[in-house]
Amino acid sequence: MKPLSFLPLILVSFIACHAPLGPSSHLLNDSNLYKIDTVRMSLYAGDEKEAGKTLQAAIDLYKKGSDTAGSITLFKQSIFVRPTVKAYFELAGALLATRQYGEGIGALSIAEKLGYTPLANVMFRYAYAYANMDNGEFSREHLKAASRYVELAIQMGYPRPVQFTEKSLFPTLDGFYGFERAYSDALAGGAIINPEKSLWDSYKERFPETALPFTIDNKWIATRQPAEDIAYLYERFIPEIREAKWSRGGGDVNFYVALLHKEPAFIAVIYGTYDPTNGPDAESSYTLVTYDPHGKIIDRMGVAGRRDLTQNFRSFIIRPDLSFQVTEYHTTFKVNPDSAGYDSSNVSGEAPQPPVNYHITAAGKFERTGPALALR
């Protein structure tokens, strides 16, 4: 019977080994905050109620936006008391908001390993962190990592893939070729609904809506503000982009100008094009194009500007009734430009030719009209 006297001691020892650790057993501190083994050992340590209260205070402070640094302190205090996957994910958000991208990635790594759901949101934040890091010599590697996380986020069902093309969130990512391929491949096979619609929506929504009448002439071009370039990933909507994409010299650059009209049957937009090899004073040409509701080109026409002085300049005006007019200006030179060169200093004048009138039909096609119809 004597051996039974050890049973209470054994039971006490067993309970002590398997019971949650008390507040005095905290293991986490600043030095091991992002070491997963220590985090896992601490998951049941500390006061759950106290940690939850501190976490909510941190979330509330972060949402107010007035003291994000203070919220980071509270997030960490909550984790020190009792770590949770939610605390690490929210801490990552605050760190990224204060541009502490390296540490933010560390917090995301813990959230991922602890099984945060939806995991696509973790992938989104990874992409954001790598895309916005102060890159330096590692710029390409960081953008490559960001592109990979974009692809994973979309494959995992991230519900708003259009965000990856927003300059306010990812200012340089859409100019990185690896991103274009990752984004397009993910849209083609990801878990999102109707991926082609998302790509189309992200393209058309970047054109600023413009009131009619709208004119492009020398005066407008001289005062035009710099516009956002159109990324290569939208090549299906602007076929010429393919030529720029594979050009040895980089090719032309296309940029958003205006959304002129939208209705259920079609939208009408204008985009610009210039050759960057012509220097900072490069001239631009402007193309009017209509698309059906799925992004298929209905009609397109060069309507304004010019690529260079080998071409005549054109001006353009479109009215609220969707009639539009294109006027070409014949350029004359002081000396034969074939010998003297196509230089602005050699231009002697520009003579307007008879304007040509058109209107956009109900089907989105461009139809040439007579002057009388154009003035109705």
Structural domain boundaries in the chain? 207-376
Whole-number pLDDT of residue 241: 74
Closest CA relative to residue 219, chosen from 317, 321, 363, 149: 317
Residue type, 54: T
* CA–CA dist 127, 139 (Å, integer): 13
Instruction: Calculate mean pLDDT across residues 112-121.
Output: 92
Express as a percent the part of the chain with pLDDT over 90: 51
Which of 2-16, 24-38, 71-85 is the least confident region? Answer: 2-16
| Residues 197, 161 contacting (CB under 8 angstroms) | no
Model pLDDT, residue 278: 74
Q: What confidence score (pLDDT) does residue 265 get?
A: 96
Report the DSSP beta bridge partners of residue 209.
Answer: 259
Q: What is the pLDDT of residue 209?
A: 94
Query: pLDDT tens digits for 236-292?
Result: 898 777 655 444 445 688 899 999 999 999 999 999 998 877 766 688 999 999 999
H helix runs in 133-240, sequence order? 139-155, 177-189, 195-204, 218-223
- The pLDDT of 17-34, averaged and rounded, is 64
pLDDT score of 233? 72
For residue 68, the model assigns a pLDDT of 92
**pLDDT for the residue 242:** 62
pLDDT tens across 314-354, in order?
Answer: 999 999 999 999 999 998 888 887 777 777 777 888 899 99
Quote the percentage of the chain above a pLDDT of 70.
84
User: Which pLDDT does position 14 carry in this prediction?
Assistant: 36
For the stretch 119-124, contacts whose Cβ atoms lie closer than 8 Å and that sit 24 or more positions apart, written own/partner, are 119/156, 120/152, 120/153, 120/154, 120/156, 120/157, 120/158, 120/159, 121/89, 121/153, 121/158, 122/89, 123/149, 123/150, 123/152, 123/153, 123/156, 123/158, 124/149, 124/153, 124/158, 124/163
pTM here is 0.55
Q: What is the pLDDT of residues 117-176, one digit of tens each?
A: 989 999 999 999 999 987 666 688 899 899 999 989 988 888 788 788 888 898 888 778
Tokens 């900072």, residue?
A: 280
Interatomic CA distance for residues 258 and 241, integer angstroms = 18
If DSSP codes are grouped into helix, strand and coil, which group holds residue 212?
A: coil
